[in-house]
Structure 1
Amino acid sequence: MTSPNQHWNKIFSTKTDPELGWYESDASQTVKFLDLIPQREISAVFLAGAGTSMLVDELLDREHKLILNDISDEALNKLRNRIGVHDRLTWLHHDISKPLPDNTPQSDIWIDRAVLHFLLEEADIQGYFSNLHSAIRPGGYALLAEFSTTGAPKCAGLELHRYSVEEMSERMGAGFELVKHEAYTFINPFGDQRPYIYALYKKTLLDKLPHSEHRTD
C-alpha cells in the first residue's frame, strides 16, 4: 500500500509545477486575505503544506519568518533548490495530522491552501486542528482554503473531505473568531473550475473575553 509520503513524492518528482492541478502562478487570492491583517501582527508564518508554492516567494519578499512543512520531502527539496538558503526559514517534513515536533516554533499565522481537505479520518482531522490550535500564538490568525461543498470530490487521485464555512468554524472552535470568508473559483492550469472556500480566523485573547466569562471559582 502506497503511503501518503510516497504518493506525493511520485507526483512532485514526475510533474513540473504548471502540471500540478493546484498550481497558481501568483498568490494574489491568498495575499488578499493576508492584507486584512495588520502587518505588524505577522512575523512568523506556518505553511501547513508548502509544496512548491509561489506564496513562499511572496512571503519572503515581505520579510516574514517561515515554517515550511510538507508531507513530501521531494516537494521540499524542489522548493529549497528554487528559493535557496535563507536564515528566516524552518524546514519541517511532517504529516500535519500527527503531533508537531516539540521544538516547532509558534506562529503568528497558519496558512493552509488545499491540505486539510485531503484528511478523511476523523482522528486525522482532529489531529490537524490540535496542531493548528497549539501552533498559533494568542491573537494570531489562521487562513484556510479548501475545496468547498460544491467542489470536485477528488484531487490528485485522492478522495476529499469538502468544507463549508460552517463546518470550518465549528472545528476551529470557540477560541477563534471568523474575520472574513469568501467562495472562490480557482481555474486550474488545465482550465477546469475548482470551487474553494477561503476563511480567515483570529485566535481570541483570554483577557478580551467579557468579564462574565472569566471564572474565579
Structure 2
Amino acid sequence: MTTPNQHWNKIFSSKTDPDLGWYEGDASQTLKFLDLIPLGEAVTIFLPGAGTSVLVDELLARGHKLILNDISDEALNKLKSRIGMNDRIIWLHHDISKPLSDDLPQADIWIDRAVLHFLLEETAIQGYFANLHSAIHKGGYALLAEFSTSGAPKCAGLELHLYSVEEMAERMGVEFKLVTHENFTFINPFGDPRPYIYALFRKYDG
C-alpha cells in the first residue's frame, strides 16, 4: 500500500511545478486575505502544506518568519533548492494530522491552501484542527482555502472532503471568530475551474 509520503513524493519528483494541478503562479488571492491582518512584518507564519508554492517566496520577500511543513520531503527539497536555506525558516517534514512537537514556536498566522481537504478520516481531521489550535497564539489568525462543496470530488488522484464555510466555522470552534470569507474559482494550469472557499478566522485573545 502506498503511503501518503510516497504518493506525494512520486508526484513532486515526476512533475514540474506548472504541471501540478494546484499550481499558482500568482499568490495574490492568498495575499489579499493576508493584507487584511493588522500585523507587522516580522510575524511568524505556519504553512501546513508548503509544497513548492510561490507563496513562500512572497512571504519571505515581506520579511516574515516561516514554519514550512509538508508530508513530502521531495517537495521540501525542491523548495530548498529554489529559495535556499534561510535563518527565518523552520523546516518540518510531518503529517499535519499527527501531533506537532511542543518545541515549535507559536505562529501569528496559519495559511492552508488545499491541505485540509485531503484528510478524510475524522480522527485525522480532528488531529489537524488540534494542531491548528495549538500552533496559533491568542489574537492570531488562520486562513483556510479548500475545495468548496461545489468543487471537484478528487485531486491528485485522491478523494477529497469538500468544505462549506459553515463546516469550517464549526470545526474551528468557539475559540475562533470568522472574520471574512469568499468563494473563489481557481483556474488550474490545464484551464479547468476549481471552486474554492477561502475563510479567515481570528483566535480570541481574551
Q: If the length of structure 2 is used for normalisation, what is the TM-score?
A: 0.99
Check conservation: 1:21, 1:190, Cα contact below 8 A.
yes
Check conservation: 1:41, 1:108, Cα contact below 8 A.
no
Give the drift of 1:105: 1.6
Alignment of 1:64-213 (within 5 A): 64-206=64-206
**Matched residues in 1 for 2:17 and 2:53: separation?**
9
Q: Deviations over 1:83-128 (max 9, x none)?
A: 0111100000000000001212210000000000000000000000
SS in 2 for 1:132: helix
Alignment of 1:20-35 (within 5 A): 20-35=20-35
Give the drift of 1:43: 0.5
Q: Which letter maps to 2:194?
A: R
Give the drift of 1:39: 2.8
CA RMSD of aligned residues (A): 0.8
**Matched residues in 2 for 1:66 and 1:183: separation?**
27
* CA shift in 2, pair 1:145/1:42, >3 Å: farther
Give the drift of 1:42: 6.2
Q: If the length of structure 1 is used for normalisation, what is the TM-score?
A: 0.94
| Equivalent in the alignment of 2:46 | 46
**Matched residues in 1 for 2:140 and 2:39: separation?**
12
Check conservation: 1:42, 1:109, Cα contact below 8 A.
no
Q: Which letter maps to 1:86?
A: N
Q: Which letter maps to 1:19?
A: D
**Matched residues in 2 for 1:102 and 1:5: separation?**
23
Where in structure 1 are there 5+ consecutive unaligned residues?
207-217
Where in structure 2 are there 5+ consecutive unaligned residues?
none
Q: Which letter maps to 1:142?
A: A
Give the drift of 1:41: 7.9
Overall identity of the aligned pairs, in %: 78
Runs of 4+ off more than 3 Å: none
**Matched residues in 2 for 1:50 and 1:125: separation?**
18
The number of equivalent residue pairs is 206
Structure having the higher Rg:
1
